[in-house]
A and B are shown apart, each in its own frame.
Chain A
């Protein structure tokens, strides 16, 4: 730290509860945001499009981490809740609802659906709840495919670009600011929520439900709230995805999406907002990195690229396994270790 102390020492509760306790953190975050805001001017549209995907993934991963990481409720249906948000937002947009209203309304529909499928969470825990949410995934996929009047069935639905007071977000650069703004709001909202009484109740349920109940946490309503808030944000992420791709089909919200969001929070770190962000960035960038490596190598060694391309999915899986073995607490934990290293440098202890 800049003050040379070996750690942070608080003299007030308010001080301890701060989101960014040190001036260094405030400055570096501020600088990071400035760089991020300038990114579209410095990067080409491919890079900006990847950043858009990252922003959307961050919202989804943070929302899942709230439910799974903080409240301990495993969800294998998150991809479908994102889909509900996407379809609902698309429908509201088609009905002429403006973007600023359609996005939260899409989230609200997803929240309602998420809470309905969260009801079994009172009776089910762990792997059993995972299967119940998997059922939600399958049921919702069926609905996306067969409720033709609402979802367009197998043909999908087209969505217009978002518009706020006549300003149309029709390029990657414009969309970047929109997705970034929503992602920042979502991250702030979740960071704040986990510091409230409600957030501590989530953690209490995750750590031991009986103790939580004994200290007066209403298990059922608290779990439902976790499902509701998480699905709301998932719906918002889905809504943004729909606006960004401009065309949604049932195939986009399959079980693979749910699993990739779970992978994000596991790799990033369960129960950490920062971890969810790291995980979203990692999982979104890994295939891009592998693709770029493969095509760069392909220019030099044509045959290598063929094998490398075919191995790509395998490498992806291998990375996941290696993470679980060597970094089970995720990237957020590694980040803390790196920070501690520099804080204590040159003394290791």
Chain B
């Protein structure tokens, strides 16, 4: 009898929790909390949650509370698909997606269902509304990031000869995505491309690849991995006394690299699409205040920024009485130089161009901290859209 009463009580609680959902804006959140990308997926998801909480603490979006529907899909496409359908049947109006695998598998679904999606997969082809009309993100795409990084290196190059450039990346959709466009741009602005090597995301050693590159003596080398593989490359390069400066892609360059690579990370050039915890911007100050000085990773700040930008689009759509997928998408496309409290470079989306901006932040590791050194911006060239 006791057990039956407990079960009935529990069910009553659930029903109560479900029914208390009037005047809410439901946002689906696909997170990887336990899968292969969970090391960065967790702080990103925390950032999204923190932003929703911040919005709710400040009156929600036009007085409506934000309710997150979160699922840990463990970077499994099938689970992402099912979760997306579940969110949809629960009344989600927009989605915060996560990685390459799920974002791309959902591209056509979100287009058909008119479900605006902000993801953390920055593949260039997702910025072309002809291919992915309902996809958005808040960072420059991978190729644009690499171009901006190369532009920065070239501008700071003092010698008369052309700088030599090499590429290291995993043979993986994420690693391959910016290589073609990046190489073309490097050749165009006067780099001499001397070599390329593959280092797996799970690599424990990169000596063979680095020895091959060392003979070609590159001045700069792109690393398109994640922090574990990046730290392996940096440490092995230090062991081989290489003098190359490494340009590290956004997922290979965060606070954990400082611990993983130690001294080897010093002086390297890393790309970031968002601010870091100790930056002097209002958004970072707000996050410092709300986390009580408990430092969080840059991915957290990017998740926060992504939700903030999405909330802005929802706010505009709601004010115009169009709180639906199409309305939110069109509202997002009216954003011009929207500043998410300095957390990312200013954001603009256009109906025929979903590149949020053409800027990337450059951070170097000094004294065990990420220090911002520059924020190069490229011209918004039409021929780069989607490549």
A contacts, CB < 8 Å to B: 44-46, 49-50, 53, 142, 145, 153-156, 158-159, 170, 172, 245-252, 256, 284, 287-288, 291, 294-296, 298-300, 306, 309-314
Contacts and interface: CB of A to CB of B under 8 A. Distances in A.
A245 B109 contact: yes
B172 A145 contact: yes
Interface string B7-44: 00010011001100000000000010111000000000
B105 interface: yes
A250 B177 CA distance: 13
Contacts of A298: 70
14 contacts: A49-B85, A145-B172, A154-B173, A156-B173, A158-B131, A245-B109, A247-B108, A249-B105, A287-B74, A291-B79, A294-B72, A300-B17, A309-B72, A310-B34
Nearest to A245: B105
Given A45-B89, A291-B71, A53 B82 contact: yes
Contacts of A245: 77, 81, 105, 108-109
A309 B83 contact: no
Interface in B164-180: 171-174, 176-177
A153 B176 contact: yes
A281 to B, nearest CB: 13
A156 to B, nearest CB: 5
Given A247-B107, A249-B104, A49 B34 contact: no
Contacts of B105: 245, 247-249, 252
B101 A155 contact: no
A44 B89 contact: yes
Interface string B284-311: 0000000000000000000000000000
B260 interface: no
Nearest to A47: B89
B78 interface: yes
Contacts of A314: 34
A44 B74 CA distance: 24
Contacts of A252: 77, 101, 105
A245 to B, nearest CB: 5
A247 B88 CA distance: 19
B88 A46 contact: yes
A247 B34 CA distance: 24
A92 to B, nearest CB: 18
A313 B35 contact: yes
A158 B108 contact: yes
B273 to A, nearest CB: 19
Contacts of A313: 34-35, 74
A207 to B, nearest CB: 34
A220 B17 CA distance: 61
Contacts of B31: 309
A46 B72 contact: no
Nearest to A155: B125
Contacts of A142: 171
Contacts of B18: 299
B290 to A, nearest CB: 17
B8 to A, nearest CB: 14
Contacts of A291: 71-72, 79, 83, 86
Contact of B77 (A45, A251, A306): A251
Given A46-B86, A53-B78, A296-B14, A249 B176 contact: no
B106 interface: yes
A123 to B, nearest CB: 29
Contact of B173 (A44, A53, A249, A312): A249
A296 B14 CA distance: 7
A291 B35 CA distance: 14
A309 B78 contact: no
B373 interface: no
Given A288-B86, A309-B72, 12 more contacts: A53-B81, A145-B172, A154-B172, A155-B104, A155-B177, A170-B112, A245-B77, A247-B109, A249-B173, A252-B105, A299-B17, A306-B33
B7 to A, nearest CB: 13
A267 to B, nearest CB: 16
B172 to A, nearest CB: 7
A306 B38 CA distance: 13
A142 B172 CA distance: 9
